[in-house]
Structure 1
């Protein structure tokens, strides 16, 4: 079981627009709210171009309370834009959204944070409609909220009771990984869609709610409700829900035939004790894990946590954090003693690829194979490569030369996915596409059997190159191996 995370600071993000009457009272409640454990707090207030005295009130609060930090938008840009600004400025490792209008009670902070602090959740929604006494307000507002929540749940395959709630808490790491776009109240359906698309661990807890009437300053209108319909659909199908690498890995899940082809292309060199580096979402690992002993590693804890939950009962499987840019992380390979180390579409993400190969040479046993797939041909380098964080596409003999420089022997090189060169050139190099679409990968998966045949026929290079390296055996080990081979031949020779 993973250790319970330890958090130190809570960032409370407050978007305020024309809240001169409520901001000071709200801030008193925020600063007085009890926090779990030893958490400290910072309050990030963003004045969204208010036309009243909200900014002056904020300045007074910041002068009196060092934990309050204030920022001012150049004009009214909307709640979503104000929250994006607050996210840029926050420094905590836990985050909670707080409106400045006193509809939500800071006394609920411990309840909102508990599932995250206990290591069960990455994001928590506070529901106004479950398990608490509540102020009675507008019937049609409630019905509209329920309809929007239902539609959001249907499209995102979730079961929230209150998608439009303001109260949302996150780990800072989870929130930062979500590229938010909405400027106004579309921020709520956007977050609901993108936390689901990122497969974050989601919880919902009951909260108290003291809703305002329009006479008391409520700002959301029926127009925002109509806009929410569009945002629910838009963000469910948008590919801009995470970084390009994660979106691509998700898309690759739509092409299991392609992933199987990639695995079977390297399988003859893997042996029984296999270490896979940079496993991501486990698209290749689902095949590699069937070997006798397996070590899966990545530098991203969210990926590793997901794989641990998926394959927790598999006894031959070890999962560990390995940042390929950190020399000390490679030591776990020394203890694992792999027959092979395989990493596919990983090395191009690391600036000092020579250091990776040297570290592998230093920590794997003699005879261990290093199986690497990388993108080929810098003429195909595109904005998509840049978005994915590729430092390079490899030129002819580049990877082989770097392997030999690290002390490895090169056993074999061959090209992979030759038809993909044309598809990549049209979509990415010419078309400027910055993410793979799930439908593209589904189609590619359907056509994979044809592409596999063409790979053996077409006299061209591929979209990728696969290179098999090996750490040389020591002279003594080689002599013993040769002697054993001769003895085996004699034992089976006819009299």
Structure 2
């Protein structure tokens, strides 16, 4: 559970989570808090660790590296998600079996729990990401998720801030990881608690990450658009020059002709780069898939029939079933 200045809510979140899954061991990662977040978390029974690099992405990266478990749960410490949905999400992950369960936020209040602009922005990012990566997602910015060990240990975690949810979603789409969505209750922050999310700053960060991921994960699309752009520029400037040459045998606009020729050269260069990077992407994705398959799958036995001990931070669930991929 990543936390930065959440002393108002962290104790209740830890208590609710442990009530929902009594065997759970909760890890709270204190991300440079200046209030009593760490003290309140410890008082509620959580294990507190600290990540000095600011940003939710840095916390998730650290937690996924630190904790070795069969099942992980990630949840925000702002008390906006209903902890009562957690047993259902864990059972679904294990019985599916799935590697990713996404909690899709459903308002539980009469007025919208989203800050102005956030709901519309979330819908836009969902559609844009789904179109770019040829998959569908209902709430890609949700911070309430359950993962298998396969997912966590094959996830590179490059993002530093709130764009981590986007990276998690694209990782799932790129490797075509088995996933399912579950509606979960969502409410506004309690009085005295402030959101750390900046609508425009973090929105542009997410857009930048999407563009970067398209360049890495779909280079044929990214460089194909650049190829089309430079080709159209070349034709737009070059066709009139060619027409004049056809009519008069002269090239009166030499700079324009040079610009058109250079643009076409750039178009072929972008096409070549795209084809090379697409081959490398395919090899990289095959290696990532093989690494993913080398990890044990989620336990397929009904979760209620297997003794469990869970960690949240990653939330951790250890079972009596051996780690050999056989339930």
Deviations 1:227-283 (A, max 9, x none): 1111122123336xxxxxxx98961599xxxxxxxxxxxxxxxxxxxxxxx9x77xx
Q: 2:87 aligns with which of 86, 89, 110?
A: 110
Aligned to 1:251: 282
Deviations 1:388-414 (A, max 9, x none): xxxxxxxxxxxxxxxxxxxxxxxxxxx
Aligned to 1:47: 30
The answer to whether the 8 Å contact 2:101/2:181 transfers is: yes
Measured after TM superposition, the shift of residue 19 of structure 1 is 0.8
Q: Distance in 2 between matches of 1:237 and 1:211?
A: 36
Aligned to 2:104: 127
Deviations 1:419-470 (A, max 9, x none): xxxxxxxxxxxxxxxxxxxxxxxxxxxxxxxxxxxxxxxxxxxxxxxxxxxx
TM-score of the superposed pair, with normalisation by structure 2: 0.63
Relative to structure 1, the CA distance from residue 201 to residue 156 in structure 2 (aligned partners, 3 Å threshold; closer, same or farther) is same
The answer to whether the 8 Å contact 1:42/1:92 transfers is: no
Q: Distance in 1 between matches of 2:117 and 2:294?
A: 48
| Structure 2: gaps of 5 or more residues | 218-277, 298-327
Aligned to 2:240: none
The answer to whether the 8 Å contact 1:194/1:235 transfers is: no
Q: 1:140 aligns with which of 98, 104, 117?
A: 117
Measured after TM superposition, the shift of residue 143 of structure 1 is 0.5
Relative to structure 1, the CA distance from residue 150 to residue 215 in structure 2 (aligned partners, 3 Å threshold; closer, same or farther) is farther
1:35-434 equivalences in 2 (<5 Å): 40-61=23-44, 65=45, 68-74=46-52, 77-129=54-106, 133-134=108-109, 135-137=111-113, 138-212=115-189, 216-222=193-199, 223-238=201-216, 251-252=282-283
Measured after TM superposition, the shift of residue 216 of structure 1 is 3.4
Q: Distance in 1 between matches of 2:193 and 2:181?
A: 28
Measured after TM superposition, the shift of residue 213 of structure 1 is 7.9
The answer to whether the 8 Å contact 1:46/1:71 transfers is: yes
Instruction: Point out the structure with max Rg over C-alpha.
Output: 1
Measured after TM superposition, the shift of residue 142 of structure 1 is 0.8
Relative to structure 1, the CA distance from residue 125 to residue 299 in structure 2 (aligned partners, 3 Å threshold; closer, same or farther) is closer
Q: Distance in 2 between matches of 1:252 and 1:24?
A: 46
Aligned residues: 231
| Structure 1: gaps of 5 or more residues | 1-13, 240-246, 255-277, 282-297, 303-495
Greater relative contact order, per chain length (Cα 8 Å cut-off, separation 6+): 2
Measured after TM superposition, the shift of residue 69 of structure 1 is 2.1
Q: Distance in 2 between matches of 1:69 and 1:18?
A: 16
Measured after TM superposition, the shift of residue 190 of structure 1 is 0.7
